[in-house]
Structure 1
Amino acid sequence: MSGSGDLTDIADRVVGWAQDGEAVEAVVGRSRHTEVRAYDRDVESLSSAESMGVGIRVVLGDRQGFAYAATFDDDVLAETLTEARDNAIFASPDPHVGLAEPDGVDVPELDLYRPSLLEVPTERKVALALELEAAVRDADPRISGVESAEFVDAMGESCVASTTGIRSESASTACYVAVSCLAEADGLTQTGFGFSVGRELSDIVLADAADDAVVRATRLLGATKPASTRATIVLDPYVTAQVIGIIGSTLSGEAVLKGRSPFAERLGDEVGSPLLTLVDDATNPLAYTASATDGEGLASRRNALITDGVLSQFVHNAYTGRWAGTASTGNAVRGGFKSTPGVGCRALALAPGELDQPALLRQVGDGLLISSVIGMHSGVNPISGDFSTGAEGLRITDGELGAPLREFTIASTLQRMLRDIEAVGSDIDWLPMSAAGVSLVIRDVTISGT
């Protein structure tokens, strides 16, 4: 943990200014962020930003007010508290508003903070982005350009305290490199991308990111449009991460309570294959978005959302938990001190199976590997579950990867895709997002091509 005691002192001070009859929450945060982007063997952009401030919520009966200040100055914070009180007075009444209360779950001790990352000089970060671009350019003569090569790092620390007894701290560091490139042959181009993720610089492996990008781009050269059919597909880990991210959004308390989820009335039902176990676990230190506490200061915990195909849980913050007549699951999410808490999944992953991707391909025999999708969020309706998105990938023939394919659509529904899961890979991949990837086999999916 970093030296965040000063943040706790500030939070305690603000909460100590609470008046009789009101509940007060203070969220104190401080962060640093650097992004370096290389292009055409030079630095295209370099940005570094620091942020600090306090967000204050005041609950007066069934009304809530919020205000924030980007400073730790006591006089300004006192004015911000007054503003939050005024906002509460004029807010619309809501019987479910209220602050989180301690629930007896201990805050886990997670090793997420690496002070060494803060000591890396800017010159080294620039060099990494340039090295990554050069590694991709020089890897294969068919690489015609690098669209972007970037190094990103972030440090965040926060404290949440309230009159209801919440008092918790969290801190973390994270960094990654990412690259996107173009491959060209016979006048046709294809794109590829790669990542490497960690909590400190020594975790980053440039060669992994470069190799992934080059392979993804070059193996699709010469791609053609397949004939329309129904087929078994294997989702690449990055595609799976996007799919389960959408599924996770349908399992939030807010979506369910507002009737915006295809699973709203299905708690306890069998909604997927027995091979399917979907977990949201921000206590997993391997997750890029791991954190000891949620956005309201409650302890992070492991929530099994779907267990052996059975829908076992929705995720809640204090507000939706109260509305649903249950409790928070430690899933309050917020964009820092400047916002009030929402609700959502924080670190999703499928329980892995026993086979890696090559073994899964051999098991499938004939089908399609989906290496990337286009327009996922516009092509998937999280309310009805309808799923239709553009895709590209490779044909699977006799258990081996074959001809590259592009300009086709895969279509089904989220509900049917969960039921039609035939295998989950062992190749879990932690990505710079709130969901981990893994190879996923789904049978009987509509392929629309020629």
Structure 2
Amino acid sequence: MNGRKQFEPDELAQLAQRVCERAAGNEQIEVCVSTGRSTTVRAYNGEVESLRSGVTAAIGVRVVEDGRQGFASAGSLDPDVVSDTLAAARRNVAFGEPDPHQRLAEPDGVEPPGLDLSDPAILSVPDADKIAAAIDLERRCLDADPRISGVRVAAWSDGWSQSALASSTGICVQASAGCCSIGAQPLASDGDETQIGYAGDAARRPDQLDVDRVVTESTALATGQLGATKPPSERLPVVLAPSVAAAFIAVVTSVLAADSVLKGRSPFADRVGSQIADERLSLFDDPTDPATLGATNFDGEGLAARRNALITSGVLGGFLHNAYTARRSDTFSTGSAVRGTRSVPGVGTHAPVVNTGDIANEKLNASIGNGVLVRGVSGLHSGVNPTSGDFSVGAWGHRISGGELAEPFREATIASTLQRMLLGICGIGATAEPLAGGMSMPPLVVADVALSGV
């Protein structure tokens, strides 16, 4: 048995359990093991630019004793490496700070959703078909519009993983899952000006990839920015395109994670039960929906995945917790532990969902009269202060004049606070539009946002 062997899920679970059985004295041991394989193909000028494939194996071991935690990981499942990793985690316990809340997760009686996410379709796709998909994506982008002068990236990627987690507290779970994705970055040119677009999609099966949408969206973003100029600085309402709305919602959910709250990095720390958003908005994390790539049966500590309501009709219902933050907060885990095999569990969402509204998407521009449609942002995570909620990020898109799309703009910034943005939501699209990975998001309308340009 070595790090390159192809394991069956049951074998991984048995391996993890055997390591947990070595717990001695007051030790608690948790073991996460995984194997995977992946392929990435990039096309350029109708040919293969690169093709990379590989297999991986990994183990992560946590040892907790008397409130001290030690962790170690390795990139092999060779028996000697496994033993060395356990020994390293035990040694690292001595360097851990004692914490009365530091213990492993224990079974909580919640039943997992029982999702079958192990469709092996991507394992049967020949390399020749992956290459053809990347080359065809590039060709279709070039043919979509005469202004498309080239394609910086046209790529296919896929991956398949098997994992298991076991602990000496009685948890043992396993999973198999895979996905594939495509992405394109076409270039649009007009005279000396060149603009770039991007779109991608991901799915569990190759036949679920929406190539038409990727081509249409990526080329429209590139050509739509031709002739863009800096807009005048003013305060106005903005329509956030679904991908931009999703990016902002991801920032909001990050400060609704209990570890952020406990570290003093959330502007909503003391707002449970308060109105923090317009009543139109409800926000959930729903890993029980098999349509998303975030779907899962278990969280990063082996507890059952569950649907969690974060904001209901604008009211903050609570925070996301893993086992540690729940103990510190005198509450229960929400099954929101997230991790990689070679990292300790954090807290986060699996599949955030925003409710749809009552305004047809095509009528959102008319609903504000004059404003801007933000099609893309840059520097979002670095441009947000998680403590105060202030943000200022790069933005581009189109002006909205008289309820109709007008000239494009670029090299602008939009600024506000997360608190003001949530309370300023004044419209939500009636249709959630598909994004990469099965996630869907409606466009959002936010009042009174500062747009800075010239």
Q: CA deviation at 1:441?
A: 0.6
Structure 2 SS opposite 1:31: strand
Of the three residues 277, 284, 287, the one matched with 1:279 is: 284
Of the three residues 97, 102, 106, the one matched with 1:97 is: 102
Of the three residues 422, 431, 451, the one matched with 1:418 is: 422
How do 1:300-339 residues align onto structure 2 when only pairs under 5 Å count?
Answer: 300-335=305-340, 337-339=341-343
Query: What is the aligned partner in structure 2 of residue 71 from structure 1?
Result: 76
TM-score computed with the length of structure 2 as normaliser? 0.94
Q: CA deviation at 1:436?
A: 4.5
Structure 1 SS opposite 2:381: helix
Query: What is the aligned partner in structure 2 of residue 379 from structure 1?
Result: 383
Structure 2 SS opposite 1:284: coil
Name which of structure 1's ranges 418-427 and 351-360 shifts more when overlaid on structure 2.
351-360
Tell me whether 1:179 sits opposite 2:184 in the alignment.
yes
Query: What is the aligned partner in structure 2 of residue 206 from structure 1?
Result: 211
How do 1:49-88 residues align onto structure 2 when only pairs under 5 Å count?
Answer: 49-88=54-93
Name which of structure 1's ranges 254-263 and 437-446 shifts more when overlaid on structure 2.
437-446
How do 1:163-174 residues align onto structure 2 when only pairs under 5 Å count?
Answer: 163-174=168-179
Q: CA deviation at 1:449?
A: 2.1
State whether residues 287 and 430 of structure 1, in contact with CA within 8 Å, keep that contact through their aligned partners in structure 2.
no
Q: CA deviation at 1:100?
A: 0.5
How do 1:248-263 residues align onto structure 2 when only pairs under 5 Å count?
Answer: 248-263=253-268
Distance in 1 (alpha carbons) for counterparts of 2:137 and 2:184: 7
Q: CA deviation at 1:168?
A: 1.4
How do 1:228-243 residues align onto structure 2 when only pairs under 5 Å count?
Answer: 228-243=233-248
Name the amino acid aligned to 2:209.
I
Q: CA deviation at 1:202?
A: 0.6
Q: Identity across aligned pairs (percent)?
A: 46
- Alignment RMSD: 1.8
Tell me whether 1:34 sits opposite 2:71 in the alignment.
no
Name which of structure 1's ranges 222-231 and 127-136 shifts more when overlaid on structure 2.
222-231
Distance in 2 (alpha carbons) for counterparts of 1:58 and 1:152: 35
Query: What is the aligned partner in structure 2 of residue 19 from structure 1?
Result: 24
Distance in 2 (alpha carbons) for counterparts of 1:73 and 1:406: 53
TM-score computed with the length of structure 1 as normaliser? 0.95
Name the amino acid aligned to 1:444.
D
Distance 1:380 1:434, change over 3 A: farther
Query: What is the aligned partner in structure 2 of residue 397 from structure 1?
Result: 401
Name the amino acid aligned to 2:259.
E
Structure 1 SS opposite 2:400: strand
Q: CA deviation at 1:228?
A: 1.8
Name which of structure 1's ranges 247-256 and 74-83 shifts more when overlaid on structure 2.
74-83
Q: CA deviation at 1:444?
A: 1.2
Distance in 2 (alpha carbons) for counterparts of 1:207 and 1:371: 19
Name the amino acid aligned to 1:165.
G
Distance in 2 (alpha carbons) for counterparts of 1:426 and 1:437: 10
Tell me whether 1:189 sits opposite 2:194 in the alignment.
yes
Q: CA deviation at 1:42?
A: 2.4
Aligned residues: 448
Is there any run of 5+ residues in structure 1 with no aligned partner, and where?
none
Of the three residues 125, 138, 142, the one matched with 2:147 is: 142
Structure 1 SS opposite 2:225: coil
Query: What is the aligned partner in structure 2 of residue 128 from structure 1?
Result: 133
Distance in 1 (alpha carbons) for counterparts of 2:355 and 2:223: 31
Is there any run of 5+ residues in structure 2 with no aligned partner, and where?
1-6
- 1:244-270 CA distance string (max 9 Å, x none): 111111111111001111111111111
